[in-house]
Structure 1
């Protein structure tokens, strides 16, 4: 293993050119859609004019939340705690059909721009505003973590100041997102996803071959206890088990793919409903492959450093720096390959931040401006407001990086944010979609928790390790934390979700059930509509609402037609009843 100073010298102008080309191409895509494509309106800027196909949307779905957090955090997780984390891939098996067939159809029928418009239609406008505000907090914190992670990697391999790296990511992203809108975001995401896969695959395969092949990698990890494939421990305070990763992981990731604004916006940017479903299944395959690749990458890193731990020997300060160190240590002599890796990590950050900026602009415009302070805003003003909001959130992300660097392990921090903030949001949407009776009345301990990593060695280090010369001051025992603080972070989302559902149903019992006859059936999950004949209390579901809407449409049609033949029926009235055909309406 080389010293850090030597590794920095290996990053040459060729490597800078490689990842500069990626930044340049992203900027050019933004210029194309901003300056040479047709004039953008708000629908084009936020929803890509609903003209996209499945492939770029699927690539964007992968890139939006799997970025640098996965590329850096997952190998670090496996290096320190073992291969057991691979089980989270099975959470994707549960998550994908749920998102595609239980949650997405609701948003598609309503054709919303903001996912939180659903909360107003189902509950009340105040619930919509609260949900949007919570999402803003979640997404801005997550974006800051995603920006900080690759900046940390770049500092490790090149010596470039972390804040210069942050500036590059933020301002290139601000440029093409603000200029090109959703189409630029989707196509740059597709490009950046391919770069992520290419760089990771090459680095891991080359690293495994260098130490004797995949058999050697597996054996060295097995000898250290890192090759454990499954653990059925039912204790919810155990950090990673089959139950925490599969069941807890399902609730963590359904918050992202089921009800998250950034993903819903992508689903609704395609031409047809089936294209969105296809994009979700392509996304599933991509997610599973990427997760297994990154997990195996952690095993390759350990196999290379099994007798000289870079953290204990002082070569790196944090586990998140392990994979960049490994890249420079094994591929540094290959001019351009470290640059490809850095481009891959940068790509992940750019895709996530651009998606976040666009989605945040959409919900502020739709939920707080159009549905609040300025409902009659003109189309031109709305488009320019969207650009201004996108710029604002890009700058806010830059500022919050100073908070992100205090959060520790990036994978743990990111998934904890999904759980703590996203879990209650999932609970509100689930309450509305799966519980027709719910009404609109619903409106880590410092010093106590230590995560022991698996054993490492420094016996094989080929350099002198300088031991600390000071005597550490003994700390007082903080005592045993409360059980709730020892709960695995993978259960945060499920806990938040079920808490909201239980409280919501209790309040409903006290204050009175929702009249299901007056409920818009489009606000319910297809699962409820499929099973309504077997669920007590759903007789006449949506009948009053559908009949009221049909009456309004007929009245409006009569007013607009004037003296036209009274026997005439408009095509809209004939073929649809607020999103339902006559046959569908008769079944409700």
Structure 2
């Protein structure tokens, strides 16, 4: 696939995307940017959220992890679905009742200003790092397909990629994202389904033969109950999935910003449950694709890339299939990646403007709009710089990097919300930032020494639960005698 063809594919895709963004966002005010004026239809939001949840990391990393992890990721995805049901019936009614623009305003109402800012800053760090890791993956693929053949530096690649994200989100915010993400979801699902079709056809399988081959493959083992010390152990993955999705979706301004754009809490609940169920089937498609890719590589004696993240790009764009497969790969990748990056950039802008600068509480509409635009540009620049830094430091699978980051940065947020919702205790608010900083440090120390201290036990994504628990205990130590009145 030539660099020019890749650029033409991206240009055609973004021409449609910009058209949708302009039509839906041209009359958006600040509330349209922040909450979509709470007029979004639940089924549109549910469909749109698939692309944001999947991201370019899933698109590339999940097929590649099949060789070492089999279908064990599905255990975590089942936990995701349960977690989204808990979000629907615990968090959504609470946030709607309080009529929040930013969900971290809950922490101010419950504990005080220091807790509020702590939650907002931890979200800022979490989302910036997570979004940058996801967008970094797109930059790597574009560098391979476009910028390297044109002898262009990686920094130009980053500027180009981040600028596109800024361009289609700067006007309409959430109001535009609901519709642009719906387009991305459609492109994402169609591309992965057609890639499965073309690869199966090349291998000589019809649908039933392909299904039987995947079912019988050693790579498709999904459930692991044998060794509790193993990172793939079912209950470790399942419960980690529940708490991960509560932390990274239910307590994440990015995803909840879309949910809070629904007309009422009942619609938001329908959206959350529906998107959770759909995600199981979408992830299963990517796992099936992984088996097909490794099977194809084995039958054709291909030298498999060292990093699993490189497998799908290597085969899809390597000229082994009709050109349409390479085009579908590019469309699917940019659909997934730009959906996650666009919604993250909008959420970061919202949280920084509302929570950290508190512009909506002290400024008029015009001043808020001006501040929001400046913050939006600033967030884009910071994201670009973080991507460049990640490129210098990267040494692990991208999807593992995302979840490791989430375990350490979302843990304090999860612990604070659990303490606030399930207890009526008040805390010494000014010391909450100290607890939020110490918890990840203690979690890291325990995680690093767990094999020696706990008879070979190894933490996986369940380190998030440990991190949140440490935060919860820390808040208990800060308890004041006064309790919250019912």
TM-score (norm 2): 0.87
Q: Structure 1 residue runs of 4+, over 6 Å off? A: 478-481
Aligned counterpart, 1:20: 11
Pick aligned residue for 1:141 from 109, 126, 129? 129
Shift, 1:206, TM fit? 1.8
CA contact (8 A) 1:208 1:217 kept: no
Larger Rg: 1
Distance 1:258 1:440, change over 3 A: farther
Distance 1:201 1:219, change over 3 A: closer
Shift, 1:172, TM fit? 1.1
Aligned counterpart, 1:388: 374
Pick aligned residue for 1:490 from 453, 457, 461? 461
Aligned counterpart, 2:162: 170
Aligned counterpart, 1:69: 57
Residue 478 of structure 2: SS of its match in structure 1? helix
When structure 1 is superposed on structure 2, of 65-74 and 323-332 the one drifting more is 323-332
Aligned counterpart, 2:223: 230
Which consecutive residues of structure 2, in runs of 5 or more, have no partner in the other structure? 433-439, 441-447
Aligned counterpart, 1:282: 274
Partners of 2:240 and 2:380 in 1: how far apart? 31
Aligned counterpart, 1:503: 474
Distance 1:155 1:87, change over 3 A: same
Pick aligned residue for 1:319 from 295, 308, 312? 308
Pick aligned residue for 1:250 from 221, 242, 253? 242
Pick aligned residue for 2:99 from 88, 111, 126? 111
Partners of 2:213 and 2:72 in 1: how far apart? 16
Tell me which protein shows more helix as a share of its residues: 2
Partners of 1:487 and 1:309 in 2: how far apart? 35
Aligned counterpart, 2:296: 304
Aligned counterpart, 1:461: none
When structure 1 is superposed on structure 2, of 174-183 and 108-117 the one drifting more is 174-183
CA contact (8 A) 2:260 2:268 kept: yes
Shift, 1:376, TM fit? 2.3
Pick aligned residue for 1:79 from 63, 67, 82? 67
Which consecutive residues of structure 1, in runs of 5 or more, have no partner in the other structure? 1-9, 445-477, 519-541, 543-588
CA contact (8 A) 2:188 2:333 kept: yes
Shift, 1:97, TM fit? 1.2
Partners of 1:84 and 1:181 in 2: how far apart? 36
Distance 1:243 1:76, change over 3 A: same
Shift, 1:383, TM fit? 1.2
Shift, 1:166, TM fit? 3.1
Pick aligned residue for 2:201 from 206, 209, 216? 209
Distance 1:251 1:479, change over 3 A: closer
Shift, 1:196, TM fit? 0.7
Partners of 1:220 and 1:61 in 2: how far apart? 28
Shift, 1:184, TM fit? 1.6
2:346 matches 1:358 = yes
After superposition, the C-alpha distances for 1:82-119 in whole angstroms (9 at most, x for unaligned) are 12222222112311210100111111110111111100
Distance 1:12 1:257, change over 3 A: closer
Partners of 2:29 and 2:235 in 1: how far apart? 46
TM-score (norm 1): 0.73
Shift, 1:29, TM fit? 2.8
Shift, 1:279, TM fit? 1.2
Distance 1:283 1:423, change over 3 A: same
Partners of 1:197 and 1:289 in 2: how far apart? 10
Partners of 2:13 and 2:210 in 1: how far apart? 35
Aligned counterpart, 1:565: none
Partners of 2:109 and 2:368 in 1: how far apart? 22
Pick aligned residue for 2:483 from 490, 500, 515? 515
Distance 1:483 1:170, change over 3 A: farther
Aligned counterpart, 1:53: 41
Aligned counterpart, 2:255: 263
Pick aligned residue for 2:285 from 265, 282, 293? 293
2:386 matches 1:400 = yes
Relative contact order higher in (CA < 8 Å, ≥ 6 apart): 2
Residue 493 of structure 1: SS of its match in structure 2? helix
Residue 305 of structure 1: SS of its match in structure 2? helix
Shift, 1:164, TM fit? 4.4
Pick aligned residue for 1:192 from 160, 184, 188? 184
CA contact (8 A) 1:120 1:128 kept: yes
Shift, 1:149, TM fit? 0.9
After superposition, the C-alpha distances for 1:530-573 in whole angstroms (9 at most, x for unaligned) are xxxxxxxxxxxx2xxxxxxxxxxxxxxxxxxxxxxxxxxxxxxx
Distance 1:185 1:220, change over 3 A: closer
Partners of 1:317 and 1:167 in 2: how far apart? 28
Residue 489 of structure 1: SS of its match in structure 2? coil
Partners of 1:110 and 1:380 in 2: how far apart? 25
Distance 1:33 1:271, change over 3 A: same
Shift, 1:234, TM fit? 5.1
Shift, 1:278, TM fit? 1.6
Shift, 1:285, TM fit? 2.7
CA contact (8 A) 2:415 2:472 kept: yes
After superposition, the C-alpha distances for 1:348-379 in whole angstroms (9 at most, x for unaligned) are 121111111111111111122227xx952121
CA contact (8 A) 1:52 1:269 kept: yes
Shift, 1:24, TM fit? 1.6
Pick aligned residue for 2:172 from 176, 180, 190? 180
